[in-house]
């Protein structure tokens, strides 16, 4: 049994090596998808922790992006953002967001909100967060609600705040549900918050 298992493992290793070599060859011939598939394992999982391996992977991912493999461009933006290389990440993220990639829109919103390598811009931050919210990012919806609550780059608007908490809730964010319920109860004259809980103990 052990011998059969070793044979299977050996053949699996040989197959993977052959497949990797084939992808590399196709990438050398400017096959964008092959470059992407070849690079992906190098920038993912434990390999991403090995700097030399990751840098090699990013070079092939960059080639795939240049060859118009959109998934590679998405990965480039995501990796640069995670590495806090915001200036380099932004062109990739902006293009990805324009194509409807949720994480890219959310990342751009955060970059402009927090002023990562750019001047803080509440208007641009809201615009990107709104795009991410429309793509069902609960966190982005919550961020838009906070913008309307605080009047950051907009007039304070309680109805808008409530609307975006609700959208966050619909996208699966529990905090959005909680805040929407609190505001909705206030609108109905129902007490909420800590005092409501304290009074509940005596009823």
The answer to whether residues 5 and 57 belong to one domain is yes
Residues 158 and 108 occupy one common structural domain: yes
The pTM assigned to this predicted structure is: 0.81
Which pLDDT belongs to residue 1? 55
Last residue of a domain, one of 52, 83, 114: 83
* Residue-range definition of the domain harbouring residue 160: 102-203
In a domain, 92, yes or no: no
- Closest Cα to residue 133, out of 121, 145, 148, 118? 145
The 10 Å Cβ neighbour count of residue 140 is: 30
Q: Does residue 75 share a domain with residue 111?
A: no
Give the pLDDT confidence score for residue 6 in this predicted structure.
43
pLDDT per residue over 85-128, tens digit each? Answer: 999 999 999 999 999 999 999 999 999 999 999 999 999 999 99
The residue among 56, 83, 110 that closes a domain is: 83
For residues 46 and 136, state if they share a domain.
Answer: no
Same domain, 195 and 141: yes
Based on the fold, state whether residues 109 and 203 are members of the same structural domain: yes
Q: How many structural domains does the chain have?
A: 2
User: Given a cut of 50, is residue 69 above it in pLDDT?
Assistant: yes
Q: Provide the mean pLDDT of the chain.
A: 88
pLDDT (0 to 100) of residue 191 = 67
User: What's 199's domain CATH number?
Assistant: 1.25.40.10
- Between 193 and 166, the more confident residue is 166
Query: Is residue 24 scored above 60 in pLDDT?
Result: yes
Q: Mark whether 78 and 112 lie in a shared domain.
A: no
Q: Are residues 76 and 133 in the same domain?
A: no
pLDDT in tens, 142-190: 999 999 999 999 999 999 999 999 999 999 999 999 999 999 999 888 8
Instruction: Check residue 34 and give its pLDDT.
Output: 95
Residue 20: name the closest of 45, 37, 44 by CA: 37
Question: How many Cα atoms occupy the beta-carbon half-sphere of 113 within 13 Å?
Answer: 18
């Amino acid at each position: 049994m052990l011998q059969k298992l070793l044979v299977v493992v050996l053949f699996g290793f040989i197959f993977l090596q052959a497949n990797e070599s084939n992808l590399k060859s196709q990438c050398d011939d400017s096959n964008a998808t092959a470059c992407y598939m070849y690079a992906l394992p190098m920038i993912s999982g434990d390999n991403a922790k090995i700097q030399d391996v990751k840098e090699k992977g990013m070079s092939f991912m960059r080639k795939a992006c240049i060859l118009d493999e959109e998934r590679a461009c998405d990965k480039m933006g995501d990796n640069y953002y995670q590495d806090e290389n915001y200036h380099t990440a932004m062109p990739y993220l902006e293009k990805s967001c324009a194509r409807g990639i949720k994480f890219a829109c959310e990342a751009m919103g955060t970059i402009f909100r927090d002023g990562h390598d750019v001047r803080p811009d509440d208007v641009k931050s809201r615009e990107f967060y709104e795009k991410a919210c429309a793509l069902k990012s609960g966190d982005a919806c919550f961020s838009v609600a906070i913008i309307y609550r605080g009047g950051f780059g907009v007039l304070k608007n309680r109805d808008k705040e409530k609307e975006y908490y609700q959208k966050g809730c619909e996208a699966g964010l529990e905090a959005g549900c909680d805040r929407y319920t609190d505001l909705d109860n206030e609108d109905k004259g129902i007490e909420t918050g800590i005092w409501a809980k304290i009074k509940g103990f005596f009823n």
